[in-house]
Structure 1
Amino acid sequence: MRVVLLCLLGCALGPALALDNGLNAKPALGFNTWNAFYREIHEDLVKEHADLMVSLGLRDAGQYLVLDDCWSERSREEGERLQASKEKFPSGMKAMGDYIHAKGLKYGIYSDAGTLTCAKYPGSLDHEELDAQTFAGWGVDYLKYDNCHVRRDRWVIDRYAAMRDALNATGRPIVYSLCEWGVMEPHLWAPQVGNSWRTTEDIRPWWDSIVKTLDYNVGLSRFAGPHLGWNDLDMGNDTGLSHAEQRTHFALWALLKSPLMIGHDLRDFSKTSLGILLAKEVIAINQDDLGVAGDLVWRQGTKRVYAGPLAGGGRAVVLANFQTTYSQYPATNITVFWTQVGLQPGQRVAVRDLYAGGCTTWWCCA
């Protein structure tokens, strides 16, 4: 039996059936424009990032390139179809998708379950069928669906289910990512509706936000899986984190089986930060065939242990020190009992640090 050590640092829809569109097998991997660029996205920038995903090796670590809010005009065209911003995307959204696909990537786009998006561009409420057909015609492979500017007379589940049905009716496989921010406990109903669901408000680029997100997700692992969908802890936003915090952040998102979406400007990566995002053995935990999300198994003060099972009988374990004193990170000892991570007392195991790689030791512990 092998223990895998990831990181030493610190309702209305009837029966609870999962959405069966063939896209739930593993969490999505890729890049999203919002955290890095907010409203300032445009055709040349997206093309540059498609090129960078290939040249930096990130295509092998995540195939989706997702255009977030602010890609459209402020109004629909005649016939009520969504239209690309003529200033930002003069070649149009189908041409944008063709470029992304030509790079061996998959094409993601954004809309909203309200009358307007969060940045006040046209939303898809009451236009679900038309917009889904439009997205499919553009070659879209992934839809992030937000929850701003909603009508009080339309229940959240009904609004999200309407786009689910519209996407399914297109006949094109489109990953459906719900961004409801966890307000109405989507882990209880979203498996019937989407492939992943945000569990919290937007993540911020500081450590306290990472910890807050993790705390909210304690106990939610049982709602995720290959036949259900995935708890989405939000995209990476590491600009304000130390390298130690980045490693811990990425390892825990991988263990909890969150979609792994990069939210950092790909033109501005340190070699160390890029190495974290390309850590193949850590990504393999996220994409493990068993698909069981890890969870918190022990905590004491700032010390925490997260663990989860792997295909083949191994265990993925993260030991983390959540010290928040930024001037220094004093070393600490964390003791793990085998029974806490699903092993038998006295069992002899191989322990591997997935960031360091190439170093396996044998432990026999209580």
Structure 2
Amino acid sequence: MAALCFFLILNAEAAAAVRHGQKITGGGRNIRRNLIDNGLGRAPPMGWNSWNHFGCNIQEKLIRETDDCWAELNRDSKGNFVPKASAFPAGIKALADYVHAKGLKLGIYSDAGTQTCSKTMPGSLGHEEQDAKTFASWGVDYLKYDNCFNTGTSPKERYPIMSKALLNSGRPIFFSLCEWGREDPATWAPKIGNSWRTTDQNDKWASYAGPGGYNDPDMLEVGNGGMTTEEYRAHFSIWALAKVWAGPLSGNRVAVVLWNRGSSKATVTANWSDIGLKLNHSTVVNARDLWQHKTILPINGQIAANLESHACKMFVLTPQ
């Protein structure tokens, strides 16, 4: 995936349509979910967010996208957002065109309050219709909507206003609610948005996630300097597995991460039965190393890796 990000860059698959009231299969049964009718979110969004590493130190030349801090502190005389000229001299529309030309999607950030969390630009509270139309006119595909400076009003009152504004904007925009999980958004947000922040303790919300609406445990910390490269790789791999794991992959494949949680080098081994492979012990598979971008010679019965402290290997196993 290309390393550019106007807050988030989504792949085309993540914008595949899901229609209101669609029948969804999950957990061995068919269920119906009352989902927001914006035609988005059949697959979980995948991309990169600039905030955790760059914060407000963003500019067009550096990353071609941003999170918070992309607008001037004040709106123009008509109440519109003003993109920060020093950071984005060509404007957001030109940036969106650039991102779309790469076959990617463009995401942007705002807040369901009077200011964004950085205090450097206005929020969208009271300007929802206006801002939604602005985002649509720029070609934005994704909105992360934060919860700072919210005037003490319940998110159940504030977030539906932006949801309706986006639906009326004339452009399908993936709506990501960053409500922080304060009022159990998994129980009410599916009717409003396509994903909702759950806080990092999200295990109790698994039954609420599915095509059209997703639990959002927020961002990775890769690149921020507090861990080694191996630890970042483990963080990324296990986060990826935790987000997408729901059983075997397509084509009878299986994803597996071998992770050394110890303080010294060690060999980590997984037998087919350990990782849920419904195969005989003698079944031969090809193992694709996702970090090294190479396929290991056919193996059978188990997979093993000699790992440094806190390092990991991530494989996709394909039966021959």
TM-score (structure 2 length as normaliser): 0.72
Code of the aligned partner of 2:258? L
Higher mean alpha-carbon deviation, 114-123 vs 28-37, is at: 28-37
1:145–1:176 Cα contact (<8 Å) kept: yes
Which residues in structure 2 correspond to 1:67-146 (within 5 Å)? 67-120=66-119, 121-146=121-146
Cα distance in 2 for residues equivalent to 1:252 and 1:79: 47
Q: Aligned Cα RMSD in Å?
A: 2.9
Code of the aligned partner of 2:135? F
Match among 246, 252, 276 for residue 232 of structure 2: 246
1:82–1:131 Cα contact (<8 Å) kept: yes
TM-score (structure 1 length as normaliser): 0.64
Counterpart of 1:318 in structure 2 is 257
Which residues in structure 2 correspond to 1:168-179 (within 5 Å)? 168-179=167-178
SS in 1 for 2:47: strand
How many corresponding residue pairs? 267
Counterpart of 2:46 in structure 1 is 29
Code of the aligned partner of 2:109? Y
For residue 145 of structure 1, report the CA deviation from its aligned partner: 1.0
Cα distance in 2 for residues equivalent to 1:115 and 1:220: 29
For residue 26 of structure 1, report the CA deviation from its aligned partner: 1.8
Counterpart of 2:276 in structure 1 is 341
SS in 1 for 2:86: coil
1:18–1:192 Cα contact (<8 Å) kept: yes
Which residues in structure 2 correspond to 1:1-366 (within 5 Å)? 17-45=34-62, 49-50=63-64, 66-120=65-119, 121-152=121-152, 154-200=153-199, 213=200, 216-238=201-223, 239-257=225-243, 293-294=244-245, 308-323=247-262, 325=263, 329-331=264-266, 333=268, 338=273, 341=276, 343=278, 348=283, 350=285, 352-355=287-290, 356=292, 357-359=294-296, 360-363=298-301
2:186–2:208 Cα contact (<8 Å) kept: yes
> 1:190-237, CA deviations, whole angstroms, 9 ceiling, x for partnerless residues?
33322222332xxxxxxxxxxxx4xx2435443322243343441442
SS in 1 for 2:237: helix
Counterparts in 2 of 1:160 and 1:110: CA distance versus 1, 3 Å: same
Counterpart of 2:28 in structure 1 is none
Cα distance in 2 for residues equivalent to 1:102 and 1:339: 44
2:271–2:302 Cα contact (<8 Å) kept: no
Cα distance in 1 for residues equivalent to 2:81 and 2:222: 29
SS in 2 for 1:143: strand
SS in 2 for 1:316: strand
For residue 167 of structure 1, report the CA deviation from its aligned partner: 0.7
1:339–1:345 Cα contact (<8 Å) kept: no
Cα distance in 1 for residues equivalent to 2:122 and 2:130: 13
For residue 92 of structure 1, report the CA deviation from its aligned partner: 2.6
Cα distance in 2 for residues equivalent to 1:76 and 1:44: 24
Cα distance in 1 for residues equivalent to 2:174 and 2:268: 42
2:43–2:212 Cα contact (<8 Å) kept: no
Unmatched runs of 5 consecutive residues or more in structure 2: 1-31, 304-320
2:71–2:82 Cα contact (<8 Å) kept: yes
Code of the aligned partner of 1:341? G
Identity %, equivalent residues? 44
Higher mean alpha-carbon deviation, 352-361 vs 247-256, is at: 352-361
Cα distance in 2 for residues equivalent to 1:158 and 1:144: 17
Counterparts in 2 of 1:346 and 1:241: CA distance versus 1, 3 Å: same
Cα distance in 1 for residues equivalent to 2:198 and 2:255: 22
